[in-house]
Amino acid sequence: MADLAERRPDEVRALGRLAFSELSGFVGGIGAVQRGIADRAFGAAGWGAKPAYFVYRSVTNGVYSGPRGAVGALGRGADRTLQRLDTGDGRRLSSTPAGSFGIAVVDGLIGDALEEDGSDLAEPMAVRVSGRVVAPEPAALATAFDAATPRLVVFVHGLMGTELGWKWFGGPSGESYGDRLARDIGATTVYVRYNTGRHVSENGRSLCELLEQVVDAWPVEVEQIALVGHSMGGLVCRSACQRGTEDGAA
């Protein structure tokens, strides 16, 4: 959690790498399927079909290895081109509604593998305001929550979701759940986003750690925290509470 403020993810480049990697695997997969079918067919034909079988394997190996190698080379070339471009703050697709949705789907499918590979697409558990990460540090929280209250309501989304989804269910005036909580009970809404491809217990531990840091750095003394989880988010909340109890968290 401590390095959130220093992270400069280049999500455009990471997504490009993933796309070319998957495309290359797709081409290879087609070849593997066809070879599997052919092996059974030639096997049933007996020894008399061996000469034709060897010719077939030589031809198809060239057919499928060529495009797969070309896709890999194209991907490496695209990555080098992106590397040469000035990234500024890093290309963050995750701060936009469409980009965040796309990355959330990818994370939900293979987020554990992305985290293991150190990909910029594996988003860490973090507080988000207007799609952007807010580090759990006094200055950052004070700026992002200039009307902070002692009463926090933390929203935790579900599988393949983001914190932006909570705003889809606002009333006719566009008022979200967070807006109503602030108006009706004076609570401060805190939205988090996380990699839903990780195990629930791992995300529970991360949420527990994040809340500890947020409470410690909150602009005013925290009196109460309510956790609101949707679907998988509810399981993550329960896991975080269990972890906090076991660890004696504040």
Alpha carbons 21 and 15: distance in angstroms, whole number: 10
CA distances from 151 to 87, 145, 221, 228 (A): 38, 12, 9, 14
Write the DSSP symbol of residue 201: H
Q: Up-side HSE of residue 16: CA atoms within 13 Å toward CB?
A: 16
User: Residue 219 — φ and ψ, nearest 5°?
Assistant: -60, -30
* Range of lowest pLDDT (117-121, 153-157, 223-227, 231-235): 117-121
pLDDT tens-digit readout, 122-151: 889 999 999 999 999 999 999 999 999 999
In this prediction, residue 235 carries a pLDDT of 96
Question: pLDDT value at position 176?
Answer: 81
Amino acid letter, residue 135:
A
Answer yes or no: is pLDDT of 62 > 80.
no
Helices (H) and strands (E) in the chain — how many of each?
7, 5
Q: Is 149 helix (H, G, I), strand (E, B) or coil?
A: coil
User: Which comes out higher in pLDDT, residue 69 or 13?
Assistant: 13
Distance, in Å, from the CA atom of 194 to the CA atom of 4, rounded to the nearest integer, reads: 13
Residues in the chain: 250
| Mean pLDDT across the chain | 75
pLDDT: which is higher, 130 or 42? 130
Per-residue confidence band for 92, with pLDDT thresholds at 50, 70 and 90: low
The pLDDT, as a whole number, for residue 77 is 45
Residue 138 C-beta-side C-alpha neighbours within 13 Å: 4
pLDDT of residue 138: 98
Q: What percent of the chain has pLDDT over 70?
A: 60
Q: Is the pTM of this model over 0.95?
A: no
pLDDT for position 55: 47
- How far apart are the C-alpha atoms of 228 and 232, rounded to whole Å? 11
Give the range among 27-36, 157-166, 241-250 with minimum mean pLDDT. 27-36
